[in-house]
């Protein structure tokens, strides 16, 4: 009886080896963001005043925008991908490695003051998805908090700067 159980167990174990479903091949993530031009689609998913005044932004809840911006050859994304047009921004902390991105900016809006966008997301060789949260610190009225979702697709090489039009 014991020999029968050992033989049956061995047969079941061998049969199970071939029945395991094959897993899809893992997609290798680039070490840095891939250089090139990206089409970035953003949507404002949350906008709230934090000082009970009208938020000092041109963006409105539900706004959708599409822009094009570039990632440099070293993998550094253009701040325009994550911040409002017209703001002057500096990256204060940046992590973009192996498919993960987290970039924090300190920005200045002319006539208003400072704001602090943070972009967190994941990227592949073809594009990225990110969540951008923004908090403001204006000396007067207009402080707000804002959240945008971004979906970006790499569309090719960056246009050459200063190239003559043909």
Q: What is the pLDDT of residues 47-70, one digit of tens each?
A: 999 999 999 999 999 999 999 999
Decide: 128 and 101 in contact? Cβ < 8 Å: yes
Predicted local confidence at residue 151, as pLDDT: 98
Number of domains in the chain: 1
Length of the chain as a residue count: 166
Query: What distance in Å separates the CA atoms of residue 56 and residue 98, rounded to the nearest whole number?
Result: 36
pLDDT per position as a tens digit, 8-18? 455 555 455 55
Mean pLDDT of 146-159: 96
Confidence grade of residue 160 (pLDDT, cut at 50, 70, 90): confident
pTM as predicted: 0.78
Query: Residue 17 falls within a domain, yes or no?
Result: no
Tokens of residue 141, six digits? 């009225």
In the predicted model, is pLDDT for residue 88 greater than 50? yes
Query: Residue 29 falls within a domain, yes or no?
Result: no
The dihedral region occupied by 138, where left means phi > 0, alpha psi between -120 and 50, and beta the remainder, is beta
Predicted local confidence at residue 30, as pLDDT: 87
Predicted local confidence at residue 124, as pLDDT: 96
Decide: 90 and 82 in contact? Cβ < 8 Å: no
Q: Helices (DSSP H) in the chain: which residue ranges? A: 2-19
Query: Residue 63 falls within a domain, yes or no?
Result: yes
Residues forming a β-bridge with 71 = 36, 77
Query: Residue 147 falls within a domain, yes or no?
Result: yes
Predicted local confidence at residue 26, as pLDDT: 61
Query: Residue 96 falls within a domain, yes or no?
Result: yes
Decide: 71 and 36 in contact? Cβ < 8 Å: yes
Structural domain range at position 40: 36-156
Query: Residue 28 falls within a domain, yes or no?
Result: no
CATH of the domain at 104: 2.40.128
Share of the chain above pLDDT 70, in %: 80
Looking at every residue in the chain, the average pLDDT score rounds to 86
Query: What distance in Å separates the CA atoms of residue 43 and residue 148, rounded to the nearest whole number?
Result: 5
* Greater model confidence, 103 or 8: 103
Is the sign of the CA dihedral 29, 31, 33, 35 positive or negative?
Answer: negative
Query: Residue 2 falls within a domain, yes or no?
Result: no
Query: Residue 21 falls within a domain, yes or no?
Result: no
């Amino acid at each position: 009886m014991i020999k029968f159980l050992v033989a049956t167990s061995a047969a079941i174990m061998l049969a199970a080896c071939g029945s395991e479903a094959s897993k899809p091949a893992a997609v290798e993530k680039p070490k840095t963001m891939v250089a090139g031009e990206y089409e970035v689609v953003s949507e404002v998913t949350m906008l709230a005043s934090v000082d009970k005044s009208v938020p000092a932004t041109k963006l409105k809840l539900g706004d959708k925008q599409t822009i094009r911006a570039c990632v440099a050859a070293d993998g550094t994304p253009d701040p325009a991908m994550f911040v409002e047009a017209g703001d002057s921004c500096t990256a204060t902390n940046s992590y973009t490695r192996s498919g993960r991105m987290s970039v924090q900016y300190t920005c200045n809006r002319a006539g208003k003051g400072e704001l602090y966008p943070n972009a967190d997301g994941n990227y592949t060789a073809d594009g990225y998805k990110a969540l951008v949260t923004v908090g403001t610190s204006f000396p007067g009225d207009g402080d707000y908090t804002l959240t945008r979702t971004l979906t970006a697709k790499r569309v090719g090489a960056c246009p050459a700067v200063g190239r003559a039009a043909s």
